[in-house]
Each structure stands twice: as C-alpha cells, then as structure tokens.
Amino acid sequence: MSSKLILFITIHLAALIYFVELLRRIYLRSKDYELKESRETLPFGLIRLRHVITLFVLSYVVWVIGSFFLYYYFIDPSLIDSSGEVKIFNLNF
C-alpha cells in the first residue's frame, strides 16, 4: 500500500471516530437537559435537533463517498483497471 492510501484511510478513520464521539455527546446532552421544543425555542420555528443530526449524518456520508471519488480522480487513477474491477489491495513488495 502506498503512503498516500494509508494517510487517506487514517484521515477517514479519525473523522469517523470524531463523528461517532460527537453524536454520542449530543445524545448524552439531549438526555441531560429536558428541553421542550416549541415555536419560541426552535430556530425559524421548524428546525428540530433530529433534523440537524440527520443533515449532519447525510453530509458525512456524502463527504466519504465524494472523497473516494476525489482520491481516485486526483491521487490514484490506477485504482480501477480497464475491466472495471477495483484493485484496492495491490501489494507489490
């Protein structure tokens, strides 16, 4: 494996750990404070915490998928060969 691929995987693992920890903290904080959602307490009167969390999860998934495309396009175009097979474990010693 190349050092660029190792760095790419390390960045994604760090982002995943941060993402999971952030969701865990939000969940714990939401249980600590019993907040009533009403028109006066919500931004714009309709955005709820579950909407923000859903958007956050979707944006994370889009970031992961998009980063794989960008990795393929800019760093390692030989990752997919002409037959369409993905060669992730190309170990040449």
* φ and ψ at residue 56, rounded to 5 degrees: -65, -45
**64 with 58: CB under 8 angstroms?**
no
- Give me the pLDDT at residue 7, please: 84
**77 with 71: CB under 8 angstroms?**
no
**10 with 71: CB under 8 angstroms?**
no
Q: pLDDT tens string for the chain (93 positions)?
A: 578 778 888 888 898 899 899 888 988 887 787 767 666 666 666 677 778 888 888 998 898 888 888 877 777 666 655 565 555 555 444
- Give me the pLDDT at residue 93, please: 44
How far apart are alpha carbons 49 and 42 in whole angstroms?
Answer: 9
- Give me the pLDDT at residue 55, please: 87
Residue of 60, 63, 35 lying closest to 49 (CA atoms): 35
Q: For residue 80, what is the DSSP state?
A: B
